């Protein structure tokens, strides 16, 4: 499969470069590292033996000293990394406790958060910085508690008028934000919706197109009906575009096909699936081939699983959940007509490639750029697309490995949405589509920031790019966003002449300054990094692996590094693999996966089933 081959190519390429993944695969690597490879001289020394007359004792001593110094450096580095790991683990535990407190004792949230914030490690990780991303659904009895949290968050948002995201139960970019705007919010009846809307959808309380199914006994519970009443439209959808030969992405879940339809504008039929892992699971997905490129499989997810997810399904679920959350939070504000003067906007789509999240919204009222109706998400369905495809090699690529916008899942470029939320998992190679080898670009536009600059034409676009920094372009986005965030007029993409240190500094500032970035990063990284480990069999020690991977990344970010390479066959395969590790250590709080035994389709995907047939 394509991704598999891509992986192998990448593996070769990075064989001689520092690999976080490799290191993570070998927890005891520091031991290995303590014995640095022999230098040529050393080797010759060893080979020549003590009788070698060419080396004087002094030379030997020098070499010995050099080796010692080198070793010292390595050990020092090890210590530093260990310290970092410990710190991150502490953070993780603290966050976990915080979550626990939130879930168990919602009334204590503030207290606990204050308490925690007094902790050393919490100095920078305050409540507003947290990402609570849960894929499965919280138990119903917890929903209330979370609603309380959400309401609190909402109040805080209103009070603080601070930029940020506010999401709900399942995926919270729990930040304070200004009263934002959101037409989205305004459209909702319940004042609590601003925060609950996402959670409700994401918690599986989500309702499918209203009205439908109410007549017959459907899966919807009373709560869900409630939700659908409160939230008649605006079902967040996450569209995943991936090159895939199989009929469906194997995302780890069990799906049952319940319908098929030829949609207008696309000769390929669209198949409708619903999750059958749990009988009442509201999650559905649509699968359709891209009309322009039959190799591209467009999978649209809607809803959130209300049951524990199989390991193999958590990654995709987390990714889509995060994306949906971003979408919904991002959609909370709107303004149009201003084309972002950003790297994105100024970069020709044709020159770009890679994996992208892009946000689209069929809703005119929300004034996101409109999706084309080809695979039309219904107007009431804001859609975020995770583009795991790559442009053909012909597209010039290396010069601009990033960001491409497409107007719809069928990918008709370029539209340049005035507002866009985009997580970009671009690959640095034209036809390589690997999450962990790609760049992560988290763009937040004003909807997120929701700041007072809304009336300006200056779209704030913030990019965080992770990845191969030997290529300058990624940093340019960061730089650009930084400049923009600081209201520095910067109409065009920054020129490559900017010094790397500058861009690094800018990137660092961007990351540290904006909790939204951190949140989005955390979500995206959870998927990306989680995928970095390995094989499905290697599902243990995931937390530490992940955490240390994150740490590595954090450590390495300022310097040249390669992100861990994941194995990705079909884009979903990688997700399967990633899930095991993404779960425990990430900032996502997933419900404990339960091994699902399905007598029939262990693969869990109808596509697999069909594969057998075919």
CB of 102 to DNA, least distance (A): 32
Nearer to DNA, 57 or 613 (CB): 613
End-to-end CA distance of the chain: give it in Å, rounded. Answer: 17
Nearer to DNA, 116 or 253 (CB): 253
Nearer to DNA, 187 or 538 (CB): 187
Q: CB-based contacts of 427: which residues, under 8 Å, 6+ apart?
A: 6, 353, 354, 355, 390, 401, 433, 434, 437, 438, 439
Nearer to DNA, 41 or 263 (CB): 263
What's the CA gap between 378 and 299, in Å, rounded? 15
**Partners of 271 in the β-ladder:** 260, 287
**Partners of 359 in the β-ladder:** 384
Nearer to DNA, 303 or 584 (CB): 303
Decide if 420 contacts 445 (C-beta within 8 A): yes
What's the CA gap between 371 and 377, in Å, rounded? 7
CB of 295 to DNA, least distance (A): 20
Instruction: Name residue, tokens 């909402």.
Output: 154
Nearer to DNA, 212 or 452 (CB): 212
CB of 438 to DNA, least distance (A): 29
Nearer to DNA, 26 or 364 (CB): 364
Measured torsion, CA atoms of residues 600, 601, 602, 607, in degrees rounded to the nearest 10:
170
Torsion sign over Cα 88, 89, 95, 98: negative
CB of 73 to DNA, least distance (A): 56
CB of 360 to DNA, least distance (A): 13
> Between helices 571-585 and 542-556, what is the axis angle to 10°?
100
CB of 4 to DNA, least distance (A): 24
CB of 574 to DNA, least distance (A): 22
Decide if 62 contacts 90 (C-beta within 8 A): no
In angstroms, the Cα distances linking 25 to 17, 20, 21, 505, 533 are 15, 9, 6, 30, 6
Report H helices in 201-286: 222-230
Nearer to DNA, 232 or 541 (CB): 232
Where does this chain bind DNA (CB under 7 A)? 208-216, 218, 233, 254-265, 270-273, 276, 284, 286, 364, 373, 376-381, 598-601, 606, 609-610, 612-613
CB of 23 to DNA, least distance (A): 40
Nearer to DNA, 301 or 425 (CB): 301
HSE of 308, CA atoms in CB hemisphere, 13 A: 10
CB of 34 to DNA, least distance (A): 51
> Which pair of structure tokens corresponds to residue 63?
């070499």
Decide if 45 contacts 589 (C-beta within 8 A): no
Nearer to DNA, 271 or 529 (CB): 271
Torsion sign over Cα 334, 337, 341, 343: positive
CB of 451 to DNA, least distance (A): 30
CB of 184 to DNA, least distance (A): 15
Phi/psi at 484 (nearest 5 deg)? -70, -40
Report which of 159, 171, 218 is spatially closest to residue 199, judged by C-alpha positions: 171
Label the pairing between strands 269-275 and 439-443.
Answer: unpaired
CB of 114 to DNA, least distance (A): 43
Nearer to DNA, 219 or 514 (CB): 219
Instruction: Name residue, tokens 């409708």.
Output: 272
Q: CB-based contacts of 344: which residues, under 8 Å, 6+ apart?
A: 402, 403, 405, 416, 420, 422, 443, 461, 477
Nearer to DNA, 209 or 554 (CB): 209
Give the H/E segment covering residue 383: strand 382-387
């Amino acid at each position: 499969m394509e991704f598999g081959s891509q992986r192998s190519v990448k593996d070769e390429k990075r064989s001689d470069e520092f690999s976080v993944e490799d290191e993570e695969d070998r927890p005891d690597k520091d031991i290995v590292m303590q014995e640095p490879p022999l230098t040529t001289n050393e080797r010759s020394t060893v080979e020549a033996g003590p009788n070698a007359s060419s080396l004087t004792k002094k030379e030997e001593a020098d070499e010995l000293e050099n080796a010692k110094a080198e070793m010292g450096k390595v050990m020092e580095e090890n210590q530093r990394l260990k310290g970092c790991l410990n710190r991150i683990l502490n953070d993780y535990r603290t966050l976990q406790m915080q979550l626990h407190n939130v879930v168990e004792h919602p009334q204590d949230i503030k207290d606990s958060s204050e308490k925690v914030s007094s902790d050393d490690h919490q100095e920078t990780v305050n409540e507003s910085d947290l990402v609570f991303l849960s894929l499965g659904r919280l138990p119903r009895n917890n929903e209330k508690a979370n609603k309380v949290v959400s309401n609190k968050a909402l109040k805080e948002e209103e009070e603080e008028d601070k930029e940020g995201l506010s999401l709900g139960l399942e995926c919270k970019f729990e930040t304070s934000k200004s009263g934002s705007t959101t037409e989205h919010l305004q459209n909702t009846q319940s004042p609590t919706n601003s925060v609950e809307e996402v959670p409700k959808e994401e918690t599986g309380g989500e309702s499918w197109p209203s009205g439908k199914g109410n007549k017959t006994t459907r899966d919807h519970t009373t709560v869900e009906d409630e939700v659908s009443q409160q939230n008649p439209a605006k079902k967040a959808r996450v569209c995943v575009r991936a090159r895939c030969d199989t009929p469906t992405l194997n995302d780890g879940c069990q799906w049952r096909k319940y319908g098929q339809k030829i949609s207008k504008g696309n000769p390929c039929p669209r198949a409708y699936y619903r999750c059958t892992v749990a009988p009442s699971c509201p999650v559905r997905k649509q699968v359709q081939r891209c009309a322009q490129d039959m190799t591209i499989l467009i999978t649209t997810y809607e809803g959130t699983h209300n049951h524990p997810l199989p390991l193999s399904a958590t990654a995709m679920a987390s990714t889509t959940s995060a994306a949906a959350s971003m979408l919904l939070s991002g959609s909370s504000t709107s303004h149009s007509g201003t084309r972002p003067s950003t790297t994105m906007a100024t970069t020709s789509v044709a020159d770009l490639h890679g994996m992208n999240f892009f946000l689209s919204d069929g809703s005119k009222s929300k004034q996101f750029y409109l999706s084309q109706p080809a695979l039309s998400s219904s107007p009431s369905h804001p859609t975020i697309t995770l583009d795991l495809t790559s442009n053909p090699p012909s597209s010039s690529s290396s010069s601009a490995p990033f960001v491409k916008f497409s107007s719809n899942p069928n990918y008709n470029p370029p539209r340049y949405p005035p507002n866009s939320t985009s997580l970009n998992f671009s690959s640095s190679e034209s036809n390589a589509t690997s999450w962990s080898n790609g760049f992560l670009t988290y763009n937040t536009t004003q909807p997120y920031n929701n700041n007072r600059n809304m009336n300006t034409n200056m779209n704030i676009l913030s990019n965080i790019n992770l990845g191969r920094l030997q290529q300058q372009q990624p940093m340019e986005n960061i730089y650009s966003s930084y400049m923009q965030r600081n209201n520095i007029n910067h109409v065009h993409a920054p020129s490559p002449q900017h010094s790397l240190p500058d861009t690094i500094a800018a990137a660092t500032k961007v990351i540290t300054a904006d909790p939204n970035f951190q949140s989005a990063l955390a979500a995206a990284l959870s998927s990306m990094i989680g995928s970095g480990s390995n094989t499905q069999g290697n599902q243990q020690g995931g937390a530490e692996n992940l955490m240390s991977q994150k740490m590595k990344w954090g450590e390495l970010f300022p310097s040249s590094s390669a992100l861990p390479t994941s194995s990705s066959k079909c884009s979903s395969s990688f997700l399967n693999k990633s899930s095991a590790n993404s779960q425990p250590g990430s900032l996502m709080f997933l419900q404990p996966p339960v091994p699902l035994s399905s007598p029939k389709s262990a693969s869990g995907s109808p596509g697999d089933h069909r594969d057998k047939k075919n």
